[in-house]
Amino acid sequence: MFKESAMTLPARKTETERFTYADYLTWTDDERCELIDGQTYAMSPAPGTAHQEVLLKLASKIQAFMGKGPCQVFVAPFDVRLAEAGENTSSCSNVVQPDISVICDSDKLDEKGCIGAPDWAIEILSPSTSSKDQVKKRHLYEKHGVKEFWLIHPTERTATIYYLKSGNYALKGIYDDTATLKSHEFKGLSVRLKEILPVIRVVKEKVCPYCANRNKPAENKKHATRSKGKTQE
C-alpha cells in the first residue's frame, strides 16, 4: 500500500508533463512510487501486521480456488501498467500495485508484471491509503476495465465489492464481518470475512495506583480506625 509522504520523491514536472513508466524504471528503491495519471505517490513504510494477515489469508483462499486453471494470483509488490489511449509500455502514465491481482490472460504478463487490466483487483485499506484506494484507484480500475474490485478494511472489519457493468462499477454490497463474501466474476468463490480478518485483541488497562478514588477509601478506613481506637480509650 502507498501514501504521499515527506520522503524524497522525484522532482515534479510541469503541469503539462507527466511521469511515465520509463521514468519509473530509473528511480532507486528509495524513490519507488505508484503512478496515477502521471502523478507520483510515494511508498509508505512496510504494511502492518493486520494488513499482511489479511493479504496472506485471502490470497491463499483465492489461489486454492483457482487451482491449476488459467488464472494466476499475484500479491504486491507487483507492477500493473495501465496505459491511456496513445500511450505505449514506456510512456504509460499509470503504474500501480494492487495488494492482490488475479490475471486470467497470460499474454498480459511479462517479466516485469502485468500489462493491462487484471480481471480482479483487491486493495487492503489503512488510514493512510483509504482515500487513494477508494477514489483514485477505484476510478482507474473502472476506467481500464478491471472486472471486479474489492476493498477490505481490517480496522473497520468491513468489505466493499464492486463489479463492472456496462463499463461502470456497480456496487454489489458493503459487508460486515458476519458476511460471506462472494465473487461476482468467479462463480463459486466465497470467503467468510471473519476468517481472514485479524483476531480482535483486547488490551486491559491497569488501574492507576495513585488515583484520587483509590486513595479516598483508604483514608476513610484509616480515619475510621483512629475513631474506633479513641472510643475504646
The domain that holds 159 is classified in CATH as 3.90.1570.10
**Structural domain total, the chain:** 1
Going by pLDDT thresholds of 50, 70 and 90, the confidence category of residue 160 is very high
Q: Is 170 part of a structural domain of the chain? A: yes
35, containing H or E segment = strand 33-36
Q: Is 190 part of a structural domain of the chain? A: yes
Q: Over 70: is that where the pLDDT of 6 sits?
A: no
Q: Is 70 part of a structural domain of the chain? A: yes
How does the average pLDDT of the chain come out, rounded? Answer: 84
Mean pLDDT to the nearest integer, 23-47:
82
**Contacts (Cβ under 8 Å, ≥6 apart) of 208:** 214
Q: Is 41 part of a structural domain of the chain? A: no
* Cβ pair 114, 81 in contact under 8 A: yes
d(CA 151, CA 130): 9
Each residue's pLDDT tens digit, 57-90: 999 999 999 998 999 999 999 999 999 999 998 9
Q: Is 37 part of a structural domain of the chain? A: no
Of the candidates 38, 51, 21, 93, the one whose C-alpha atom is nearest the C-alpha of residue 197 is 51
E strands present in 37-194: 39-42, 72-75, 80-81, 95-96, 100-103, 109-110, 113-115, 120-124, 148-153, 158-165, 168-176, 180-182, 190-192
d(CA 76, CA 10): 22
Q: What angle do CA 176, 177, 181 make, to 5 degrees?
A: 80
The residue with cell 479513641 is: 230
Residue 185: all three cell numbers together: 466474476
* Cβ pair 161, 150 in contact under 8 A: yes
What is the percent of the chain with per-residue pLDDT over 90, rounded to a whole number? 62
Q: Is 217 part of a structural domain of the chain? A: no
Going by pLDDT thresholds of 50, 70 and 90, the confidence category of residue 2 is very low
Q: Is 87 part of a structural domain of the chain? A: yes
Range of the domain at 131: 46-196
Determine the pLDDT at residue 15: 53
Going by pLDDT thresholds of 50, 70 and 90, the confidence category of residue 212 is low
Tell me if the pTM is above 0.95. no
Each residue's pLDDT tens digit, 37-52: 999 887 667 788 999 9
**Contacts (Cβ under 8 Å, ≥6 apart) of 121:** 80, 98, 100, 101, 102, 141, 146, 148, 149, 150
Q: Is 229 part of a structural domain of the chain? A: no
